[in-house]
Structure 1
Amino acid sequence: MNWIYFFDLCGTAVFALSGALAAGKHRMDPFGVIVLAAVTAVGGGTIRDAIIGATPVFWITDPNYIAVILATVVACLIFIRKPYKLSNKSLPIADAFGLALFTVIGAEKALSLELSGMAAVVVGLITGVGGGIIRDVLCRQVPMVLRTEVYATASIVGGISYTISLQAGMGSMTALSLAMLSTLIIRLSAIHWHLSLPAFDLKTKK
């Protein structure tokens, strides 16, 4: 079984759920839910493939990604009728799992194209945060990655963990699990304890 591909589809479903929940919080119609779920799920990977020249992008050549997004949206519309009644942490937690999965997927794709370890970390970061940025912009919010929340940092640590683990001779599954776990621990800890980085507060004289 191709575990990388399996986790990629899992990440697509998780980020699609994240987008659908965000659409529900903003009271969008079913078409809006589909659009927001789709751009959240494949946005980061699309930007990644465009940057590294892996064209046509992955979801164009593999319809399974679109099928997963549609199935996730339908399930969300049926079983989660009123997303605004969910906990305020539901969206960040779903997003954290998507971040962990896509960070590793992005880094793995960069390494498979024989890019450097540093490039793999950056590509992993783009894959992990790209869809969320598009989602937040469409919802007219400041993207999580640009706030003081510990978000991009978790992705960077996960990407570094994955590349170093592979370079140290660990198996791909071990490296993948370690990287996802490190990303999740940092991001979920930040959500639970409201951890954040210092804000750049440039005050001007009146």
Structure 2
Amino acid sequence: MTWEILNIIGTMAFALSGAVVAMEEEYDIYGVFVLGMATAFGGGIVRNFLIGIPVPTLWEQGTLLWTALLTMLVFFFLPVKLIAYWRRSEVFFDAIGLAAFAVQGALYATQLDRPLSAIIVAAVMTGIGGGVIRDVLAGRRPMVLQEEIYAVWAIGAGLCIGTGIVDIGDSVQLYGLCVAIVVLRVLSVFYKWKLPRRSLHKAVQ
């Protein structure tokens, strides 16, 4: 039940994240639904394709699909002030989604007896893939590739599960991993942690 709740919260958070970007770009309600659904489920679809799970299994997630659609529909008609209020807590819910989806992706690959590399890729794609697809569809540079420490926490989830640091048979350890990812994600936003990067613009000039 706890995993189902985490998945629901994560799905809602990611769907709303896509909806917000669509409204910022002044898309119509159809565009809001497309970006929201892509954010919530795009990463899982890519993960399934990469680790050999039939892509049509998406349609078995009827509850989550309807949850995402209804959430976006309600959100679309909310007053702008309420949307702005929700965005102040967006990071926390997004962190829950990242944690739940990254751990879920790693568990999928582990259960299929995939190697460590596949487990890490499954964790990353499930956790951040939808956000990358959202940004590309919105004509933006993917946030996770240039600004924030985001994918690192999904990689950490894959490593912890793939190397056995976290026992997948122990629910307490799995929930502890989720809590750790949420805390680290929130701290990385609060303290503006960033990965090293280099620019060639000055060198070219």
What TM-score, normalized to structure 1? 0.85
**1:97 matches 2:96:** yes
CA distance in 2, matches of 1:34, 1:180: 28
Equivalents in 2 of 1:167, 1:88: separation in Å?
34
Aligned to 1:126: 125
Among residues 183, 186, 200, which one is paired with 1:185 in the alignment?
Answer: 183
CA distance in 1, matches of 2:116, 2:165: 9
Contact residue 92 and residue 182 of structure 2 kept, 8 A? no
The aligned counterpart of 1:160 is 159
Residue 203 of structure 2: SS of its match in structure 1?
Answer: coil
Q: State the Cα distance separating 1:102 from its structure 2 match.
A: 0.8
Per-residue Cα deviation, 1:89-111 (whole angstroms, up to 9, x for no partner): 55444432221111011001101
Aligned to 2:23: 24
- Runs (4+) off by over 6 Å: none
RMSD: 2.5
Match of 2:193 among 178, 192, 195: 195
CA distance in 2, matches of 1:205, 1:13: 44
Change (3 A) 1:90 1:26: farther
User: In percent, how many aligned pairs have the same letter?
Assistant: 32
In the aligned structure 2, how far is the partner of 1:181 from the partner of 1:24?
31
| Structure 1 letter corresponding to 2:66 | A
Aligned residue-pair number: 204
3-state secondary structure, aligned to 1:149: coil
Is the Cα–Cα contact under 8 Å of residues 20 and 36 in structure 1 kept in the other structure? yes
135 and 93 in structure 1: CA distance in 2 versus 1, 3 angstrom threshold? farther
Deviations 1:78-126 (A, max 9, x none): 4454577347655444432221111011001101111123421221011
**Deviations 1:26-79 (CA, angstroms, capped at 9, x unpaired):** 232211111111000000000001111211333223322321111211231244
The two structures have a TM-score, normalised by structure 2, of: 0.85
Q: Quick one: which amino acid aligns to residue 189 of structure 1?
A: L
